[in-house]
């Protein structure tokens, strides 16, 4: 009588499995290899954001993932990953402040199209790291039938397949949170700035000042960071500001800044008018010294007046936006740049760890 025992052929075993009398069993080595493959961190960046992305990659201890970015006639472009992204957790860093090389619209479109390409190629999750988010200031209607562009940008990102959005010092936190239905992460440069400012402030009494009422909560968080860093009380003040058809007015300063080292904190500097007015008000109210800190150096040419006037002892910004070339003369001479790369790297690592659980 012929034997009913079947000899399993190793050739017939599927990839990643080993032969077992009870059937195919997952190979521990194959499982470990698959897990290691899944744990690979992929960080991409369009050319416009390569400098910051390279610093973030260095902080993570990885290399930027290779990609191809090509330009075509009529201003069109494409970008594609040059490594396999199937079933991978992917991060794309693109800061979207318009400059001489590319508009905010161009940078936004490059991010959207690349995110779409990643999803089409099978990426499990796409996280957009947008230190400076385009159109974040157009978060409400100020005139009849105005667009609420922040909400439209959120819809575009969701449609392109972006699963998580990370940004730094967003202009209006509530509007940002309400605009996005996906997972969002709001980072703040206040912690980095507090460390950088500690030596400047010395042993003098300190006050944190918001240049307008809308930034009070942001100033309060800077106050908390400085209180912890300096291990002493830090006061709070704010300026009245009204803007009508581009004209800024309002002179009232609320809070005591006399004899204090004042830190004027805002999310961005664009024209420099708001910050310069706040500096002048603090000086007039008897401030001993005035330091400015803002996450985004979205300088327009008129911001040069902030440095020419010497109304601030120093201006501290992050590298979320590369200052225009004409402002480089002030670096180390009134303008200081603090890198957000460590902050962004920690956030990416935290997100990757949560995804791996």
Instruction: Assess contact for 243 and 146: CB atoms under 8 A.
Output: no
Catalytic residue among 78, 241, 288, 310: 241
Secondary structure of 196-259 in HEC code, one letter for each residue: HHHHHHCCCCEEEEECCHHHHHHHHHHHHHHHHHHCCCEEEEEECCEEECCEEECCCEECCCCC
3-state secondary structure of 320: coil
CA 294 – CA 183 distance, rounded (Å): 25
Residue 106 parent element (H or E): helix 104-120
Q: Which of 265, 273, 123, 148 is CA-nearest to residue 197?
A: 265
Q: Which of 123, 40, 43 is CA-nearest to residue 345?
A: 43
DSSP 139: -
CA 144 – CA 52 distance, rounded (Å): 39
241 in catalytic set:
yes
Alpha helix (H) residue ranges in 61-130: 104-120
Q: Give me the helix-helix angle, 341-356 and 50-60, nearest 10°.
A: 60
How many beta carbons lie within 10 A of that of residue 113, not counting itself? 17
Please state the separation of Cα 1 from the chain's center in Å: 75
State the pairing for strand pair 77-81/23-26.
Answer: unpaired
3-state secondary structure of 156: helix
CA 257 – CA 280 distance, rounded (Å): 12
Q: What residues are labeled active site? A: 241
């Amino acid at each position: 009588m012929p034997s009913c025992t079947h000899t399993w052929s190793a050739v017939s075993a599927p990839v990643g499995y080993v032969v077992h009398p009870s059937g195919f069993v997952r190979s521990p080595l194959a499982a470990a290899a698959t897990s290691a493959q899944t744990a690979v961190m992929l960080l991409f960046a369009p050319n416009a954001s390569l400098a910051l992305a390279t610093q973030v990659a260095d902080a993570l201890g990885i290399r930027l993932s290779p990609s191809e970015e090509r330009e075509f006639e009529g201003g069109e472009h494409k970008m594609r990953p040059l490594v396999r992204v199937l079933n991978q957790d992917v991060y794309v860093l693109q800061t979207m402040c318009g400059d001489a090389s590319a508009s905010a619209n161009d940078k936004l479109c490059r991010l959207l199209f690349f995110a779409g390409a990643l999803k089409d190629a099978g990426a499990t999750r796409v996280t957009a790291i947008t230190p400076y988010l385009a159109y974040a200031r157009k978060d409400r209607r100020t005139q009849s039938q105005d667009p609420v562009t922040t909400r439209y940008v959120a819809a575009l990102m969701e449609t392109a397949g972006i699963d998580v959005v990370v940004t730094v010092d967003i202009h209006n936190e509530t509007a940002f949170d309400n605009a996005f239905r996906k997972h969002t992460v709001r980072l703040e440069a206040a912690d980095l700035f507090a460390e950088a400012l500690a030596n400047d402030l010395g042993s003098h009494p300190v006050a944190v000042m918001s240049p307008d009422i809308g930034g009070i909560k942001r100033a309060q968080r800077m106050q908390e960071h400085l209180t912890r860093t300096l291990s002493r009380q830090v006061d709070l003040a704010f300026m009245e500001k009204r803007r009508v058809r581009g004209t800024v007015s309002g002179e009232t300063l609320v809070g005591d800044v006399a004899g204090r080292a004042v830190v004027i904190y805002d999310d961005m500097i664009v024209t420099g008018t708001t910050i310069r007015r706040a500096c002048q008000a603090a000086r007039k109210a008897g401030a001993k010294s005035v330091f400015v800190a803002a996450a985004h150096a979205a300088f327009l040419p008129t911001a040069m007046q902030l440095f020419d006037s010497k109304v601030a002892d120093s201006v501290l910004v992050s590298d979320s936006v590369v200052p225009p070339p004409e402002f480089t003369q002030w670096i180390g001479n009134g303008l200081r740049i603090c890198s957000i790369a460590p902050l962004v790297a920690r956030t990416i690592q935290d997100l990757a760890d949560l995804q791996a659980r």
